[in-house]
Structure 1
Amino acid sequence: MRTYAELFAVREFRNLFLANCAGIAAHTTSALALGALTYAATSSALLTALSMFGAPLAGVLGSLTLLSAADSVPPRRALTLAALLATAGAALQAVPGLPLWARFAVIFVNAYVGSVAGGARWALLTDIVPVDAYVLARATMNTSVGVMQIAGFGLAGVLLVWLSPYQVFLLALALRAVSAAVGWFGLAERPARASGRVTVARTHLVNRTIWADPGRRSLLLNLWVPGGLIVGCEALFVPYAGDRAGFLLAAAALGMLVGDVVVGRFLTPARRERWIHPLRLLLAVPYLAILLSPPLPVAMAVALVASVGYAATLPLQERLIAHSPPEARGQALGLHGNGMLAAQAVCAALAGAAADLVAPSRAVALVAAVALAATVALTPRPAPDRTRTRPAAARGRWRLRRAEQVGAGQNGPVNDGRPGGHPRVAHSPAWRTS
């Protein structure tokens, strides 16, 4: 499966794609409407920013407490329940007299539950398409997210000129309902990946199992930190370019689109592997040129070229899937997604703090230099193969089996009759998970 025609010929992928597009459009339209309401009520830039972009912080809490539901609940049900809750949230936001604190509570509850939906969605994608088509499918989904964000913000901006924020929330409500309906009627019912109840104990145990493996830990850090720092650079576009910042944001979005299309559609798996490190360096190096305060066209070229480097996350996600046991794949992908969003929020705040101390151009270059240093520091070094009496995968499966018993309320010893389990995937030894 190497073409978009083949990909969209898969009925479930089409429906998952449409449901995700509707959900992203609903989120962006309601975020801008809520931002307009918040600023009108408080005149606070901080509260307005939190209303629009602070929700990922609730996703961190979800990752620590609820994320095991990404594997313990059948995926169609998890996605539909999250979409229905978001629909109810949009309905509440459309109520004119709702207090501001209640509006914040609604978005954070939705984000908390949505932290599970992300892991379930990306794990389900691995079931819908063949293994060799995952990168193309994920790149296509990534592209749709960017397009729908631009369309959602643009549409909401136009509508807010003519309509009240409450009426824009009604549009978001309709889009949320479409997402829930397409997810429920367009996806097949599948069993949960893991048995046992959804508990905080199980979430903690599986998180520890995922994080304890050096290879998976390295992959997660490489997926979180450098990209999060570059989002910090992008967060300074407004201080750097003022009312022309939109051109820089558009250039960055175009670069990301180009990277996803080229890497996801045209590179073979072997070439994707070879391009990981160059793309990761490309993400940071061009932004060093902003230190010279170049004119807008040059800065746009910098943002476009650098953002192509975001495509390195596609083969890294491919590795994370290959090195995660199937019964914990949803939680591993949920950790990746929620950690990435949290890292972006934190790095954007740190970059903004830096720009309060030095000129925006210097702050961009400084954050890019830190991103480059982090990229080099986090690049794994080849390690010699070592013989272990108990493979890491077997230890991971023991912990996951233990997590299932914890979720079922059992506290007795675990008897795993198999000496091993999850096979090693033949990747570069620099990214081994043992």
Structure 2
Amino acid sequence: MSSSPRRETFRDVFAVREFRALWVSQVLSVGGDRLALVALTLLVYDRTHSALLAAVAYAAGYVPYIVGGLFLSGLADRLPRREVMVGCDVIRAAIVGVMLVPHMPLDVLVAMLYAVTLVQPPFDAARSAILPDMLDGQRYALAAAAMQTTYRVALVVGAAVGGVMVAVIGARSALGADAATFVASALIVGLGTRARPVPAGRPRQGQLARLGAGARLVFGDRALRTLLLLGWLVALYEVPEGIAAPYAARLGGGPVAAGLLIASTQVGAVLVTPVFTSKIGPLTRLRWMGPMAVTACSVLVLTAARPGLGVSMAIFALSGTFAIYQVAANTAFVARLPNERRAQAFGLANAGLVVGQGVAFMAAGAAAEVIPPSTVVALGGGLGALAAGGLALRWRRMSPAVGRHSARHLRDHASHPGGIAKAPVRGADSRAPRHGIAVKNPGLTVSQELRARSRS
């Protein structure tokens, strides 16, 4: 009699030395980025008392990412990914070190911060691309969940700590601490992860040709395109973050209320993501992905009733909770990418996400000048729900994990040790690589999922 396979846990993931190194480097990198951004923004405002110039400085955390995501992320497909990460950390540490020179003009400081952000996308792409080489299947899903949760926490804590450090030790010392985080990250990645060769089969093309090939890969495959658009929905359900200040002001609150609203958007995801990833089987996550995306957006429509601070925070937390569908979307996206194109695809996805968020935040801010911020949030949620509904239906028709033919499809592949690995997705472009939506060593096997279906 065969025993049921043991379910993978977060302990199993953190038992992998390489993942621990990658995780610690992420904490240092994200925390350092937020620290430098807050420090320089406050320094600019302190010297100029100009909200516009302070906003220009804060934009350094986003605008250069678009260029770097499009044109530099592919470096992690042409060079060893560990060396790309270490090199990016060393470059960022050097730039921030130069920023510590006394009496540096503000415009030069802002330009250097833009340069620091420009180097971030290849680091992020290399880290995202190398993670599936360290862990696969359910372990990868757990690792991705840990990374996403850590990123959310580091954003909030990094910004808060940045403000405190600037107040206590000054902006220049805070920048010095930022440089130290990059040096530490480089050492941890260099010593804590093993060297891997450049991905086999990498194309010998120019930068624009590689960018075009990456775009054709992502947008030419219906499954990848659907997963990508599901990921980009974050621009609509995170509108509350972009207009938290006017939303709080409309409720009679100030900076503290705005901070609580922003924090509430992350609380649900931080608490529920570990449970969702470790307790729910991979096929179930894929099946729930579409409905959860719809709910993450549609729940924001409730703000049309102009609720108070407490209810608004609860609505935003609930929206963020359902947004954990991104774990399933990320896992499926990675499984379908060929290794030699993985970093470029991540770069395109991240660049599009930043552009989408920027456009959504600006549009929401402009709309909030005319109509109540709560109405703006409700409109963004409604638009997101409509888009998510269309994407959910498209995914249901093409994914072997959902739909009326799913049980038969799963039985056909039940004997495959990788579950639904290499299963073709109906309607995908014939020119696209048929990697399917691989689920190796899943927490629940296909047969277990089928038994659960029959019981339900």
TM class, shorter-length: 0.7 to 0.9
Structure 1 residues 18 and 372: alpha-carbon distance in aligned structure 2, compared to 1, 3 A threshold: same
Deviations 1:34-91 (A, max 9, x none): 1101212333333323322443322222233223212111110110111111111221
Aligned match of 2:448:
none
Deviations 1:385-426 (A, max 9, x none): 9xx9xx9787346xxxxxxxxxxxxxxxxxxxxxxxx44447
The answer to whether structure 1 residue 216 and structure 2 residue 224 are counterparts is yes
Aligned match of 1:58:
64
CA contact (8 A) 1:119 1:333 kept: yes
What is the Cα deviation at residue 139 of structure 1?
Answer: 0.7
Q: What runs of 5+ residues in structure 2 fail to find an aligned partner?
A: 1-6, 401-423, 440-456
CA contact (8 A) 1:233 1:368 kept: no
Q: Distance in 2 between matches of 1:393 and 1:191?
A: 30
Corresponding residue to 1:38 among 40, 44, 55: 44
Structure 1 residues 273 and 103: alpha-carbon distance in aligned structure 2, compared to 1, 3 A threshold: same
Structure 1 residues 77 and 394: alpha-carbon distance in aligned structure 2, compared to 1, 3 A threshold: farther
Aligned match of 2:444:
none
Structure 1 residues 63 and 145: alpha-carbon distance in aligned structure 2, compared to 1, 3 A threshold: closer
CA contact (8 A) 1:118 1:337 kept: no
Structure 1 residues 338 and 259: alpha-carbon distance in aligned structure 2, compared to 1, 3 A threshold: farther
Corresponding residue to 2:183 among 168, 177, 182: 177
2:84 is paired with a residue whose SS is helix
Structure 1 residues 202 and 308: alpha-carbon distance in aligned structure 2, compared to 1, 3 A threshold: same
Aligned match of 1:415:
none
Aligned match of 2:235:
228
1:379 is paired with a residue whose SS is helix
Amino acid at match of 2:154: M
Structure 1 residues 383 and 311: alpha-carbon distance in aligned structure 2, compared to 1, 3 A threshold: closer
Structure 1 residues 153 and 425: alpha-carbon distance in aligned structure 2, compared to 1, 3 A threshold: closer
Alignment of 1:131-146 (within 5 A): 131-146=137-152
Aligned match of 1:164:
170
Amino acid at match of 1:17: W
CA contact (8 A) 2:222 2:428 kept: no
Q: What runs of 5+ residues in structure 1 fail to find an aligned partner?
A: 398-421, 428-434
Q: Distance in 2 between matches of 1:28 and 1:341?
A: 16
Greater shift, 12-21 or 274-283, is seen at: 274-283
Corresponding residue to 1:367 among 373, 377, 380: 380
Aligned match of 2:431:
395
What is the Cα deviation at residue 212 of structure 1?
Answer: 2.1
Corresponding residue to 1:299 among 283, 298, 312: 312
Structure 1 residues 157 and 27: alpha-carbon distance in aligned structure 2, compared to 1, 3 A threshold: same
Alignment of 1:302-317 (within 5 A): 302-317=315-330
The answer to whether structure 1 residue 202 and structure 2 residue 210 are counterparts is yes
Deviations 1:123-172 (A, max 9, x none): 11101112221111011011111222222222222222222211111111
Alignment of 1:10-409 (within 5 A): 10-193=16-199, 194=202, 196=204, 199-224=207-232, 226-242=233-249, 243=254, 244-381=257-394, 382=397, 395-396=431-432
What is the Cα deviation at residue 99 of structure 1?
Answer: 2.0
What is the Cα deviation at residue 5 of structure 1?
Answer: 1.4
TM-score w.r.t. structure 2 length? 0.82
CA contact (8 A) 2:41 2:54 kept: yes
CA contact (8 A) 2:295 2:385 kept: no
The runs of at least 4 aligned residues of structure 1 exceeding 4 Å deviation read 391-394
Q: Distance in 1 between matches of 2:309 and 2:436?
A: 48
Greater shift, 196-205 or 27-36, is seen at: 196-205
2:370 is paired with a residue whose SS is coil
Structure 1 residues 372 and 396: alpha-carbon distance in aligned structure 2, compared to 1, 3 A threshold: closer
Deviations 1:335-384 (A, max 9, x none): 22232222212211111111011111211112211221221233343269
Greater shift, 313-322 or 47-56, is seen at: 47-56
Q: Distance in 2 between matches of 1:198 and 1:309?
A: 41
Q: Distance in 1 between matches of 2:39 and 2:198?
A: 36
Amino acid at match of 1:182: I
What is the Cα deviation at residue 24 of structure 1?
Answer: 0.9
CA contact (8 A) 1:64 1:204 kept: no
Amino acid at match of 1:101: D
2:347 is paired with a residue whose SS is helix
Q: Distance in 2 between matches of 1:81 and 1:426?
A: 31
Report the RMSD for the aligned CA atoms in angstroms: 2.3
2:198 is paired with a residue whose SS is coil
1:254 is paired with a residue whose SS is helix
What is the Cα deviation at residue 110 of structure 1?
Answer: 2.3
Q: Distance in 2 between matches of 1:392 and 1:374?
A: 20
CA contact (8 A) 2:70 2:347 kept: no
Amino acid at match of 2:231: L
Amino acid at match of 2:213: L
Equivalent residues, number? 398
Amino acid at match of 1:246: G
Greater shift, 332-341 or 81-90, is seen at: 332-341
Q: Distance in 1 between matches of 2:387 and 2:335?
A: 24
Q: Distance in 2 between matches of 1:261 and 1:425?
A: 22
2:337 is paired with a residue whose SS is coil
CA contact (8 A) 2:290 2:393 kept: no
